[in-house]
Structure formats: structure tokens, C-alpha cells
Amino acid sequence: MNTLIQDCINNKSSETPIWLMRQAGRYLPEFRSIRKKNQDFIKLCLNTKLSSEITIQPIERFGFDAAIIFSDILLVPYALGQQVNFKKNFGPDLRKIDLKILNNVKKEDFLHKLDPVYKTVKEIKKKLSNSNKDTIGFVGAPWTLLLYMLNRKSPKGGNFRVFPKDKYVNNILMKLDEFLKIHIEAQIESGASIIQIFDSWAGLLPEKDLEYFVYKPIKSLIDFIRKKKTISICFPRNINNYKKFVDNVKPDIISIDYNVDPSIIRDTIDIPVQGGLDPKILLQNKEIVRNEVTKYLKTFDKKRYIFNLGHGVLPETNPDMVRHLVDEVRSFNGQ
């Protein structure tokens, strides 16, 4: 059975698929109920029973066309031996990398640590087996993971530096390439039909550094995913030139942020496009949501387009507004 997203990519359907980044998360009361009882975020991500339940919550509530696994990009540094914690009102807090540990991580130990994630993928694939919905696995892009691993916290507010292209940094990038492919392969073998690569902090880099930190490392992952005959989506948030990214990296689908003019994307990029809507729009009234949804759908009319946001759903979002968003997209389909 082909999924709605696959039909969209292959130009076999005029219907616009919809799913949202962070669709399983803090804006849902059913998630908050689970989170309140499970304060350790890493442990929650590695609890197959609960992560499966969280993953499926927005599917049951809104009927999205894909389920994205409830997990986190920082599980990879965690499985590579770096201590990762999530502090309230602070975000990720990482300990200094121990290169001795990093360079001696064995594939079987890495897979064992993340086995609950792969079990979650299998569980979701099973739950969706009789539907036309995709199961989406994901990874953080090498640059974004490198930034967290070396910066040891979120770079929000400009609190970071661009790292030198030296032996130390290259060593970490090589390890990330090796183990991200292991993580991707395990998700695909467990049933993920799409892999999304999140380069959340690509926009922090100057143009001269994109080839080394973004284009080459992500293309290596894309080529690997393609060999596995699996769909790839790239989300290089806040980069200045999406066309150059697509030309260099060649993903199957490009996911755009809300700072880019969608008409420029429409006119310059030929591959399927995903996303774009500013998540803050969902904090406004229904008329504004309707107008913005219509703008994106009309912009990409007759193009291969997957409706999504230009970043994740905000925690303060009212679920009723997400329902309104889904209804607007569904009602536009076929018009």
C-alpha cells in the first residue's frame, strides 16, 4: 500500500499530505500527563511503551498522514558515551566529550543502548500497517550534533563559536558519519519508511563553512539512505540559499523554514517541498490560520507539497488550533 506522502512525491495524488514537526509533544495534555510522571527525558525516550504511546497520540487525535517517532537527536551523543541531561528552563546540558570513550564505541554497544528506539519504530510500523500513513525516523545532522557536543548546550542567543576544521573536529565528524548511518539503518530495518535529517542550526554558519560542515556530511547520509531505497527529507533551518543546498545535497524532499519566501522556493526548486508555516501562526486566531494555510497551499498548487510547519509545534499551542489547521488543509484538498 502506497502512503499519501509517497503518492505526493510520485505525482500520483492531488491531495496534500500533512504532518507536523513536534506533533507529539508538550502542547498535548495527554503528553503532559505522561511527562509529569517521567522527569528524566532520556529515560522517557528510551521507554518503548511510553514513546510508542506518545508517538501515536497525535495520529489518534488529528489523523496526520505520518507518525514521527518520539525520540531526540541527542540520543546519538548519549549512545556515543557523552553524558546528556535535559534541565528545566535550560535545555540540553552535555558533559565534556571523552575522546577515549568516543573512539572506542562498538557498534553492538551503540545499538544496544538505542534498542528501545528501534522497538518503538517496529511498534509504530505495526500500528500503522493497515493505513496509508508513513513511519518517520530521524537523526540530527552532523553539524547540529557537533555543535551540541562541543558547545555542550543550546547555541540560542549566539552562545557558540564556529569550530576549526582541524583533526579533532574532523575525528568527531567521522564518528558521527559512521554511527549516524548505523542509527539510520537500524530505524529503516525496524520499519521507518522516511528518514528526516534535522540540521536545526545550519543557519548559524557563514557561507564559506557550509561545504565542510553541512553539504558534504549530509550528502554522505543522503547517499546512504538512497542506497537503502528509503525516502529522505532534509531540514536545514535558516540557511540563506535552499537551492544551493538542494543542488549540493540532493535530498528527496526539502523542508523549509518560515523565514524563506515560499514563492522563491516554488520558482527555483524542482523536488518535493515540505513545510514553511510559522508555528507562531497557530497562536493567532482561526482566520489568520486559514489565510496562512491558503497562502502556502496556493503557492505550491500543482507542485509536490507536504504541509508542515517551518519549525516544531510550540508548547503553548492550543490543540484546537491544530485541529483547525488540519481541517483547513483537508478542506482545501481537491478544490
pLDDT tens digits, 153-189:
888 877 788 889 999 999 999 999 999 999 999 999 9
**pLDDT tens-digit profile of 189-213?**
999 999 999 999 999 999 999 999 9
Residue 126: domain span: 4-332
Q: Is 128 exposed, middle or buried (0-12, 13-18, 19+ CB in 10 A)?
A: buried
Which residues on adjacent β-strands are paired with residue 231?
194
C-alpha cell of residue 299: 503557492
Among the listed residues 27, 16, 65, 19, the one whose alpha carbon sits nearest the alpha carbon of residue 313: 27
Global pTM? 0.96
Which domain CATH number covers 150?
3.20.20.210
Contact 221, 240 (CB under 8 A): no
- Into how many domains does the chain fold? 1
Q: What's the mean pLDDT when you consider all of the chain?
A: 95
- How far apart CA 5 and CA 307 sit, in angstroms, is 10
Please tell me the predicted confidence (pLDDT) of residue 335.
42
Please tell me the predicted confidence (pLDDT) of residue 1.
66
**Helix 142-151 to helix 167-190 angle, to the nearest 10 degrees?**
120
Instruction: Please tell me whether residue 163 adopts helix, strand or coil conformation.
Output: coil
For residue 200, the Cα-to-chain-centroid distance in whole angstroms is 9
Please tell me the predicted confidence (pLDDT) of residue 161.
80
Q: Taking residues 322-333, report their average pLDDT.
A: 93
